[in-house]
Chain A
Amino acid sequence: SQTIHQWPATLVQPVGSPLSLECTVEGTSNPNLYWYRQAAGRGLQLLFYSVGIGQISSEVPQNLSASRPQDRQFILSSKKLLLSDSGFYLCAWSVSRGQGKLFFGSGTQLSVL
């Protein structure tokens, strides 16, 4: 069966520090991968998606970047965190684009202080 791992569960970082969140998927090949964020009082916002190794699409301009160095690994990064980067970050995968049925990781609660 397929599983998705996302870590850490919680993270407290000072403003200006770097960020690296990692997500891995097991039990499937060539998944579509996604990073979502839920800021306080907001809905889940799509940040990045990837249909294959090295292929990253950004939905919103921001202080973050994403990379997919391996088929089932998706990394969210920042060189310098801002206060506005605080939120709940979720990694997800799907079998095909547009299918709508996403499988989410358990999320990372990031607090930038």
Chain B
Amino acid sequence: DQQVKQNSPSLSVQEGRISILNCDYTNSMFDYFLWYKKYPAEGPTFLISISSIKDKNEDGRFTVFLNKSAKHLSLHIVPSQPGDSAVYFCAARYGGSQGNLIFGKGTKLSVKP
């Protein structure tokens, strides 16, 4: 049973435009959400996070939005750059401050020049 779902396996965006990556979750007990970015032949790297008590967190070109009522979060990248081309994983924490993460399957973003 997938508790963190990234329903789009891939996304293609033109350079300079906005990239929106989506993630849905089923467990209302998740209290912390993260996005990781993964390049080929490398491990995922932390990108941005958001606590469940917030609805938005911004870091440069990256913004994460959380809609708790819809159990939905999204990652916005503005403007998109070719170097953003990677697989993006959504993750949610369960078990509180000593909890572990559940990851989605990932979405492959391609930013075309």
List chain A positions with a Cβ less than 8 A from chain B.
Answer: 4, 6, 9, 36, 41-46, 49, 59, 90, 92, 97-98, 100-107
Q: Specify which of B2, B46, B101 is in contact with A46 (CB 8 Å cutoff).
A: B101
| Nearest residue, chain B, Cβ from A36 | B103
Assess A43 versus B103: contact at CB under 8 Å? Given A98-B93, A98-B98, A100-B91: yes
A49 / chain B contacts, CB cutoff of 8 Å: 100
What are 23 sample pairs from A and B whose C-beta atoms fall under 8 A apart? A6-B43, A43-B4, A43-B103, A43-B104, A44-B44, A45-B103, A46-B100, A46-B101, A46-B102, A92-B43, A97-B99, A98-B98, A100-B32, A100-B34, A100-B49, A101-B46, A101-B49, A102-B36, A103-B46, A105-B43, A106-B42, A106-B43, A107-B42
Q: Let me know if B95 and A43 touch, CB within 8 A.
A: no
Complex alpha-carbon distance, A9 and B42, angstroms:
10
Q: How large is the interface on B (under 10, 10 to 19, 20 to 34, 35 or more residues)?
A: 20 to 34
Q: Let me know if A9 and B41 touch, CB within 8 A.
A: yes
A51 to chain B, nearest CB (A): 9
| Nearest residue, chain B, Cβ from A9 | B41
| Nearest residue, chain A, Cβ from B106 | A43
Q: Answer yes or no: B27 CB below 8 A from chain A CBs.
A: no
Q: Answer yes or no: B96 CB below 8 A from chain A CBs.
A: yes
Q: Let me know if A100 and B43 touch, CB within 8 A.
A: no
| Nearest residue, chain B, Cβ from A104 | B43
Q: Let me know if A98 and B45 touch, CB within 8 A.
A: no
B44 / chain A contacts, CB cutoff of 8 Å: 44, 90, 102, 104
A90 / chain B contacts, CB cutoff of 8 Å: 43-44
List 10 A-B pairs, minimum CB-CB distance, nearest first: A104-B43, A44-B103, A43-B103, A98-B97, A98-B98, A43-B105, A97-B98, A98-B99, A43-B104, A101-B46
Q: Specify which of B4, B101, B104 is in contact with A102 (CB 8 Å cutoff).
A: B101
A97 to chain B, nearest CB (A): 5
